[in-house]
């Protein structure tokens, strides 16, 4: 069965420092991977996705993520954090070889400290 894990419930980063939000996954086929962000009292917004191609994916608001097949990871990164990046981040995976549902992680709350 497919699964996705976000091992950290919360990540604290000082403004201006690089940030990483971790995500690992498990699927039997090819993974389709997504990152979404949720601001308070809002629905989720798409940040970026990996379907195929370059392992480094660039997305909205200066975020990027690296697909690592050997480590089954898809960590979200940003070189310099902004206070406005403070939000709840979700990783999601779907098995590209099966007609199955997309699975979301439990979310990681990112706090950027001024």
Partner 1 sequence: KAGVTQTPRYLIKTRGQQVTLSCSPISGHRSVSWYQQTPGQGLQFLFEYFSETQRNKGNFPGRFSGRQFSNSRSEMNVSTLELGDSALYLCASSPGLAGAYNEQFFGPGTRLTVL
Structure token pair of residue 32 = 């389709």
Q: What is the DSSP string of 28-85?
A: SS-EEEEEEEE-TTS-EEEEEEESSS-SEEE-GGG-EEEEETTTTEEEEEESS--GGG
Site residues for partner 1 per CB under 8 A:
32, 34, 36, 41-46, 49, 51, 90, 92-94, 96, 99-107
Q: In terms of CB distance, is 74 or 105 closer to partner 1? A: 105
| Minimum separation from the CB atom of position 64 to partner 1 (A) | 16
Q: Give yes or no for a contact between 85 and 79, defined as CB atoms under 8 angstroms apart.
A: no
Q: Quote the least distance from Cβ 103 to partner 1, whole Å.
A: 7
In the complex, what is the shortest distance from the CB of residue 16 to partner 1, in angstroms, rounded to a whole number? 29
- The nearer residue to partner 1, 7 or 18, going by C-beta atoms, is 7
């Amino acid at each position: 069965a497919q699964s996705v894990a976000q091992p950290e419930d919360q990540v604290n980063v000082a403004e201006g420092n690089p940030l990483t939000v971790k995500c690992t996954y498990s699927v039997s086929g090819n993974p389709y991977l997504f990152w979404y962000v949720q601001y308070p009292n809002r629905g989720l917004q798409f940040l970026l996705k990996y379907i195929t191609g370059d392992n480094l994916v660039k997305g909205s608001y200066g975020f990027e993520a690296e697909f690592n097949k050997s480590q089954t990871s898809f960590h979200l990164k940003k070189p310099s954090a902004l206070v406005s990046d403070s939000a709840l981040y979700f990783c999601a995976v779907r098995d590209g070889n099966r007609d199955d549902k997309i699975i979301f992680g439990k979310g990681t709350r990112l706090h950027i400290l001024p």
